[in-house]
């Protein structure tokens, strides 16, 4: 029996894409990615007809700066979802979206606040991540948990295979179960003086979008900090990174550097002879002498070869010159690290790289 023909549409269908939850994931991670502006650009490229963004009063999704960046990045019509408040009205008038949709809001809504905070422990030798308090996990989160645990197992397998060679376990690289058992045995062996190489051979720090390094084999020698200056117009996040994670990375780098070039003076010698002093005050090597500092020889040498190359940390930042210089000028600690070359500072822009030397940028 033939079916009746559908009446023609009075108006062609149009596809508008809501990018709120791209921003939700970004906010939950505490970084800059995934970027809702990037999502808007993808919608435009694949033929979408519009963007919907909900600027909530609690900013749990889109942030104020996102609206400006979305409008700068694409010409697609922007549908702004908002509460009927004076604040939101002022924002809408300032941005002049294509359309505004009034949406009621309640702080107790559990649309994006119904997630579960689960504590976890990362065993850096076996690469296992153990999640705690899962007994209180509601049924609504079981599928999400299964997916997360699957990704964690995949990451564990890849990370274990990468470091197997340095631990003398290259013959188990293609045998994930056997490799996992070997690493667990190594982790529990109290006679093992070199259970892992930790941050040995660290050499660089990248402060840039993850897309810069995704797919590259950095051999575990780089600290990666996901950062996009486009979402940091005032440079506040860059300032936090350069005054905290970058400084800590320098501490780590210099500890390995000094413990390698002169372990007698700047390292702590043979860990098998260490005696703890005053609870947590420090260690002696043997039964006397000065308190030892730095890393034991077993943390940087395998008995035959050095496992750390003593180089000063190279920091690569993708951000405008002015934003970087502003942090250097404002913070004496950062200024001393950079100007005295306790670390080497580089700026990346497109395919160009330049180094900061004595208040000047020098092209490479």
**Domain final residue pick, 51, 74, 102:** 102
Judgement on whether residues 216 and 311 belong to the same structural domain of the protein: yes
Judgement on whether residues 307 and 355 belong to the same structural domain of the protein: yes
**Domain final residue pick, 144, 160, 188:** 188
The span from the first CA to the last CA of the chain, in angstroms, equals 74
Q: Mean pLDDT over all residues of the chain?
A: 88
In a domain, 115, yes or no: no
- Structural domain of 182: 120-188
What pLDDT score does 130 carry? 92
pLDDT band at 1 (very low <50, low <70, confident <90, very high): very low
C-alpha span between 334 and 136 (Å, rounded): 45
In a domain, 273, yes or no: yes
Least confident of 109-118, 231-240, 333-342: 109-118
pLDDT band at 161 (very low <50, low <70, confident <90, very high): very high
Q: Is the pLDDT of residue 57 over 90?
A: no
- The number of distinct structural domains making up the chain is 3
**Domain final residue pick, 69, 102, 135:** 102
In a domain, 110, yes or no: no
pLDDT band at 142 (very low <50, low <70, confident <90, very high): confident
Judgement on whether residues 83 and 167 belong to the same structural domain of the protein: no
Report the b/e string of 293-320 with b at 16+ CB within 10 A.
ebbbbbbbbbeeeebbebbebbbbbbbe
| DSSP characters over 35-65 | -HHHHHHHHHHTT--EEEEE--TT-SS--HH
C-alpha span between 95 and 74 (Å, rounded): 14
Judgement on whether residues 125 and 224 belong to the same structural domain of the protein: no
| Each residue's pLDDT tens digit, 82-95 | 887 778 877 888 88
Helix (H) or strand (E) segment spanning residue 324: helix 321-330
In a domain, 58, yes or no: yes
Judgement on whether residues 181 and 216 belong to the same structural domain of the protein: no
Cα atoms in the 13 Å half-sphere on the side-chain side of 57: 15
Report the b/e string of 11-45 with b at 16+ CB within 10 A.
eeeeebbbbbebbbebbeeebbbbbbbbbbbebbe
Judgement on whether residues 182 and 56 belong to the same structural domain of the protein: no
Judgement on whether residues 210 and 326 belong to the same structural domain of the protein: yes
| Each residue's pLDDT tens digit, 326-357 | 999 999 999 999 999 999 999 999 889 999 99
In a domain, 164, yes or no: yes
What pLDDT score does 12 carry? 67
Q: Is the pLDDT of residue 223 over 90?
A: yes
pLDDT higher at 357 or 114: 357
Judgement on whether residues 265 and 166 belong to the same structural domain of the protein: no
In a domain, 3, yes or no: no
Judgement on whether residues 173 and 320 belong to the same structural domain of the protein: no
Judgement on whether residues 236 and 348 belong to the same structural domain of the protein: yes
Judgement on whether residues 208 and 255 belong to the same structural domain of the protein: yes
In a domain, 176, yes or no: yes
Judgement on whether residues 149 and 226 belong to the same structural domain of the protein: no
In a domain, 331, yes or no: yes
C-alpha span between 294 and 251 (Å, rounded): 11
| Each residue's pLDDT tens digit, 252-293 | 999 999 999 999 999 999 999 999 888 878 889 888 778 888
Verdict on whether the full-model pTM lies above 0.85: no
């Amino acid at each position: 029996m033939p079916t009746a023909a559908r009446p023609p549409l009075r108006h062609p269908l149009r596809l508008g894409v809501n990018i709120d939850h791209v921003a939700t994931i970004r906010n939950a991670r505490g970084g800059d990615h995934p970027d809702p502006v990037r999502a808007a650009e993808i919608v435009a490229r694949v033929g979408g007809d519009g963007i919907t963004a909900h600027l909530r009063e609690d900013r749990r999704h889109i942030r104020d700066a996102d609206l400006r960046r979305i409008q700068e990045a694409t010409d697609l019509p922007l549908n702004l979802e908002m509460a009927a408040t004076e604040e939101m009205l002022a924002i809408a008038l300032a941005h002049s979206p294509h359309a505004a949709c009034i949406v009621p809001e309640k702080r107790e809504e559990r649309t994006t606040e119904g997630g579960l905070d689960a504590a976890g422990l990362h065993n850096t030798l076996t690469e296992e991540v153990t999640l705690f308090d899962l007994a209180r996990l509601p049924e609504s989160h079981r599928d999400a948990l299964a997916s997360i645990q699957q990704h964690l197992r995949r990451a564990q397998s890849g990370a274990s295979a990468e470091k197997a060679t340095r631990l003398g376990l290259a013959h188990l690289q293609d045998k994930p179960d056997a490799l996992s058992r070997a690493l667990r045995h190594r982790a529990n062996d109290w006679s093992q003086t070199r259970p892992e190489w930790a941050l040995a051979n660290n050499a660089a720090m990248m402060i840039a979008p993850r897309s810069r390094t995704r797919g590259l084999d950095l051999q575990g020698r780089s600290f990666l900090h996901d950062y996009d200056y486009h979402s940091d117009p005032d440079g506040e996040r860059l300032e936090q990174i350069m005054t905290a994670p970058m400084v800590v990375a320098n501490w780590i780098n210099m500890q390995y550097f000094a413990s390698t070039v002169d372990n007698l003076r700047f390292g702590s010698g043979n860990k098998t002879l260490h005696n703890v002093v005053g609870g947590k005050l420090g260690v002696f090597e043997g039964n006397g002498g000065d308190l030892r500092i730095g890393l034991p020889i077993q943390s940087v040498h395998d008995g035959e070869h050095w496992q750390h190359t003593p180089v000063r940390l190279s920091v690569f930042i993708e951000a405008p010159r002015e934003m970087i210089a502003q942090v250097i000028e404002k913070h004496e600690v950062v200024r001393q690290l950079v100007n005295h070359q306790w670390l080497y500072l580089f700026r990346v822009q497109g395919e160009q790289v330049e180094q900061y030397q004595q208040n000047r940028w020098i092209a490479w």
